[in-house]
Structure 1
Amino acid sequence: MKQRGKGYELALLVVLTLANGVVAFDRLAATFLSPYIVADLKLDNAQLGLLAGALSGAVAITAFLGGQLADRTGKRKLLLVACTLVFSLGSAAGGFAIGFASLFAARFLLGLAEGPMVPVSQTVMMDTSTPERRGFNMGVMQMAGAFLLGAMAGPIVATQVADSLGWRAAFFISAVPGVILALIMMALVKPDRPVDHAAGEAPPSLLGALGQLLAIRNMRVALGVAALFTAWLVLQNVFLPLHLTNDLALPGPTMGKVLSMGGIAGVIGGALLPLLSDRIGRKPVVIGACLAGLLAPAAMLTLPPDSFLLGAAILLGWLPLGIAPLYCATIPTESVPPALATSAVGLAMGTAELLGGVVAPGIAGYAADAYGRGAVFVICGGLALAAAAAALMLKETAPRALAKERT
C-alpha cells in the first residue's frame, strides 16, 4: 500500500509513541504504587495478582473486538481518540477506590478502553511506514513511549507523588496527559483510508475472522510466544515492587529508581531488536531474546539488596522486552491478509493479556503466598524457556530476510 510521505510518517510515529507512553504510564501506575495501595487497602498477594488480571482481562476482551471493528469499518482515528479519552478517565477513577472491589472495577474499565489502542495504532503505523522501516517504526511506537513515560519516568514520578500527596493523587494526575494527547491526535492524525477488501468481498464476521487467523501457522505460533513472554513481563511488573521493598527492604523512592531501569531497557531494546529483525530476520531475534529473558529472574533470586546491582540487572535483563512489537504486531501483520491486519494484532494482544496477564498473575500470586515471592521468578524463568521453544516454529516474515532467501 502506498505510504503517505516521510514527514507524515515521522509525525505519526511521534504522536502515537507519546500516546502509547501515556497509556503505559496510566496502566503501570497501580503496579508502581502497589506498596502504598497494599498497605492502605490491606490487600494480599493473590488480590494484587487479581488486580493485574482485571485490567488484562478487559484488554483481552476488547483488543480483538476493537481490532475487528476497525477492520470492518475503517474508523481507526475515531477509535484511537475515543479510547484515549475513556482510558484517561478510567485512570482517574482508580483514585476514588475505597477497597479491593472498587479498585478492581476501575482497573477493569481502564482495560476495556486500552484494548483496541495498540492494535489500531500498530496497523496505522504499518500502513504509513515503508517496508524497510516497518519493524523499527512499529517497535519504537510501541516501546519507546511506553518505557520512557511508563516504565522509566512512571515509577519515579508515581512514587514521588505518592510520598508527597498520597497514592490517590498519582492516579488523578496520570489522567491529564491522556486528555491532551487525545486532542492532539484529533488535530494531527489524517482521515482514515477507505476500507479495502479483496475482490469486493464483504468483511468476515467475528467468528469468520477468528477462524481465518487461527488457520495461519505463524499466527498460532505468535499467539503462543505472546502469551508466554507477556506472562514473563507481567509477573515481574506485578511482584517486583513488593520484592524490592518488602523482601529486600529498599525505600519506596529507591525502588522506583531501580524499576526505572526497565524503562531504559525497554526503549533500547524496543528500538534495537526490531531494527535488528529488519536486517537479519524476525525469527532469530525472537528466539535469542526469549533465551536472554532468563537473566532478570535469575538476578532477582540471587542478588543482594544493592540498588546499583539490582538496577543494572533490570537494565540488562529487560532488554528482551524489545521483541514485544514483533510477536504482537509485526509478525502477525506480515503473516495475514491486509484486511485482517488490525484483527491479527488485536488477537495477539488479547491472547497475551488473557493468558499472560489474567491467568498467570493469579497463579503466581497463590504461589507467592504459599512458597514466597521467589517462586514468581522461578516461574518467569520457565516462561522464557517455553517462549524460546515456541519461537523455533516461526516462519520468517521480514522482507529483507525473505529477499535474501530467494536469491
Structure 2
Amino acid sequence: MSAPSPQSARRTVRITIVLLFAAWLVDYADRLVINLVLPSLGAEFDLSRGQQGLVVSAFFLAYALAQIPGGMLADRYGARRVTLWALLAWSVFTALTGFAWSFAVLLVLRFAFGAAEGVFPPASLKVLVERTTPDERMAAHGLVMSSNAVAGVLTPLLVAPLIAAFGWRSAFFSTAALGVFVLVAVRLRLPAPLPRVQPATGTLRTGAGGVLRLGVVWRFSAMMFGYSAIVWGFNTWVPSYLVEEHQVSLAAAGTLVAVPALAAAAAIVLGGRISDRLGGHHRKVIVPGMTVAAVTLLLTAFSSSLTGFLVFGTLASVAVALCYMPIFVIPLSGLAPEQVGVGSAVVVLGGQVAGMAVPPVVGALADAFSYQVAFASLVLGAVIAAAMALLTPQDAASFRTATGASPLPAPAKELS
C-alpha cells in the first residue's frame, strides 16, 4: 500500500478526531445524566444516598468488567466494528432506562448499559492509534478526550432544564437519540486506517495474556484509579450537594456544575500537549497536579460559602484534569499497535473500578457524617495517583525495559 499524501493523512486525522470526539461526548453525557436525575430517582423510588450510589456503581461494575474483553475484541475483530456495536448497544439500554419502574430494574439496566459502554474505550483508542502517527497521537487523544469535560459543561446546561420540564425519563430518551445519530455518522464517515509502519525493534511482542501479566501496566491502571476516584466521587455528588445543602434548583445546579467542567476541558487539551512536549515524564505533571488537587479539595470540602465551594472546586478540577493525558502517554507509546486494545483496557479499568467503588462510599460517608467528610476523603485519590506516578517508568524506553523487551537501538550516526 502506497503512503497517503500529507494532505490526505491530515484529513484522516481530523475526521477521526471529530467523530471520536462526538462518540465520546455522547458516551460521557449518557453517564452524567444519572448524576442529574439522582435527586428525582431518590424521591420517586425512596432511595437513600447509599442506594443512589449503587445505581451509579452498577454501571461501573459492568463497565470495568467489559474493559479487557472489549480490548481483546477490538484487537481480534477490528476497532471500527466494536465501536459501532458499542454505540448501538448503549443507545438501546439508555433508552430502556427511561422506562425503569423500580430500583431493581434500574440496577439491571444500568449494569447492561455499563457492559455496552465498557467495550468502547479500548476500541476507540485503537481506532485513534490506527489513524494517527506517533508524534501527533497524544495531542489528538487530548482533543478527543476533552469531549468528556465538554460533556460535563453541556449535559447539565441542556439536560437539567429538560428534566425540570418533562421529568427525568426524558433525559434518557434524548441522549439515546443522540447516540443513534453519532452511530450513523461513524458508520458512514470514519476513514480507513493509515498504512501500518513496521514495529520498531525493541517494541514489546507478546499476546493479550502477556500484556495482562505485566505489573508495570497495572501500576498505570492504579494511577488511573486515583485520578478517577476524584472525578467520579466529586462529580456524582455535586448536584445533590448543591440542591440539598444550598437549596439551589436543579437547573441552576446544572449551570454551576458547568463552570468547573469547562475549565477541565481546556486542562485536558493542555495536558495532552504537555505530554507530547515532555515525551513522557508524567511525574512532572501528575505529582504537582495532584498536590494542588489535594489542597484545593480540602478547601472545597470545608468551604462555608457557595462561592468558595465553586472557586476551589474549579481549581481542583483543573489540577486533576491536567493529569489525565500524562497517564496514557507511556503505555500508548511503548505497546505495539496490536496490543493497544488490551493495554489501554487495563489502564482504563483502574478508572472504572474507581467509578464503581467510590460513589457509594462517598454517598455512605455523606449519610453517616456529612458532605464535608465525604468530599475530603477524595484526597486519597490524589495520593494514590501521585505515588503511582513516582513508581512507573518515565519514558517509552524505560517502559519497554520494565516489560522485558529489549531497548530500541540507537539511531545510526551520519558520516561527515
Would you call these one fold, judging by a TM-score over 0.5?
Answer: yes
- Does the residue aligned with 2:391 lie in a helix, a strand or coil? coil
Whole-angstrom distance in 1 between the partners of 2:277 and 2:231: 26
**1:194 to partner: Cα distance:** 9.7
Whole-angstrom distance in 1 between the partners of 2:370 and 2:314: 24
Whole-angstrom distance in 2 between the partners of 1:350 and 1:70: 15
Contact 1:94 1:103 in 2 (8 A): yes
Whole-angstrom distance in 2 between the partners of 1:159 and 1:129: 37
Name 2:378's counterpart in structure 1. 380
Whole-angstrom distance in 2 between the partners of 1:284 and 1:352: 21
Q: Does 1:22 pair with 2:26?
A: yes
Whole-angstrom distance in 1 between the partners of 2:158 and 2:66: 29
Name 1:394's counterpart in structure 2. 392
**1:295 to partner: Cα distance:** 4.5
Q: Does 1:95 pair with 2:98?
A: yes
Whole-angstrom distance in 1 between the partners of 2:179 and 2:56: 21
Query: One-letter code of the match for 1:155?
Result: P
Name 2:69's counterpart in structure 1. 65
Whole-angstrom distance in 1 between the partners of 2:198 and 2:117: 26
Runs of 5+ in structure 2 lacking a partner? 401-409, 412-416
Query: One-letter code of the match for 1:212?
Result: V
1:283-338 Cα shifts (integer Å, max 9, x gaps) = 312222222222452233232343x54433333221122432432x4332223233
- Does the residue aligned with 2:304 lie in a helix, a strand or coil? coil
Whole-angstrom distance in 2 between the partners of 1:325 and 1:138: 8
1:87-119 Cα shifts (integer Å, max 9, x gaps) = 111111111112211111121111111112121
Contact 1:72 1:195 in 2 (8 A): no
Name 1:361's counterpart in structure 2. 359
Name 1:345's counterpart in structure 2. 344
Whole-angstrom distance in 2 between the partners of 1:352 and 1:76: 21
**1:398 to partner: Cα distance:** 6.5
Name 1:286's counterpart in structure 2. 286
Whole-angstrom distance in 1 between the partners of 2:310 and 2:370: 22
Runs of 5+ in structure 1 lacking a partner? none
Name 1:138's counterpart in structure 2. 141
Contact 2:122 2:341 in 1 (8 A): yes
Name 2:414's counterpart in structure 1. none
1:248–1:111 CA distance, 2 compared to 1 (3 A): same
Whole-angstrom distance in 2 between the partners of 1:60 and 1:119: 12
- Does the residue aligned with 2:395 lie in a helix, a strand or coil? coil
1:123–1:115 CA distance, 2 compared to 1 (3 A): same
Whole-angstrom distance in 2 between the partners of 1:210 and 1:38: 42
Query: One-letter code of the match for 2:174?
Result: I
**% identical aligned pairs:** 23
Q: Does 1:209 pair with 2:208?
A: yes
Contact 1:35 1:242 in 2 (8 A): yes
Whole-angstrom distance in 2 between the partners of 1:294 and 1:5: 42
1:201-254 Cα shifts (integer Å, max 9, x gaps) = xx97xxx6244343252x122111111211111111221111111122222112
**1:61 to partner: Cα distance:** 1.2
Whole-angstrom distance in 1 between the partners of 2:276 and 2:237: 34
1:138-188 Cα shifts (integer Å, max 9, x gaps) = 11112x22221x200101212101111111111111111110110011111
Query: One-letter code of the match for 1:388?
Result: A
Name 2:257's counterpart in structure 1. 259
- Does the residue aligned with 1:98 lie in a helix, a strand or coil? coil
Q: Does 1:153 pair with 2:135?
A: no
Name 1:40's counterpart in structure 2. 44
Name 2:301's counterpart in structure 1. 301
2:89 paired residue among 62, 86, 91: 86
Whole-angstrom distance in 1 between the partners of 2:51 and 2:210: 35
Name 1:11's counterpart in structure 2. 15
How many residues matched? 389
Q: What is the CA RMSD across the aligned residues, in angstroms?
A: 2.7
Whole-angstrom distance in 2 between the partners of 1:374 and 1:97: 32
Contact 1:81 1:186 in 2 (8 A): yes
Q: Does 1:117 pair with 2:116?
A: no
1:141–1:299 CA distance, 2 compared to 1 (3 A): same
Contact 2:66 2:119 in 1 (8 A): yes
Whole-angstrom distance in 2 between the partners of 1:367 and 1:105: 25
Whole-angstrom distance in 2 between the partners of 1:193 and 1:337: 15
**1:278 to partner: Cα distance:** 1.2
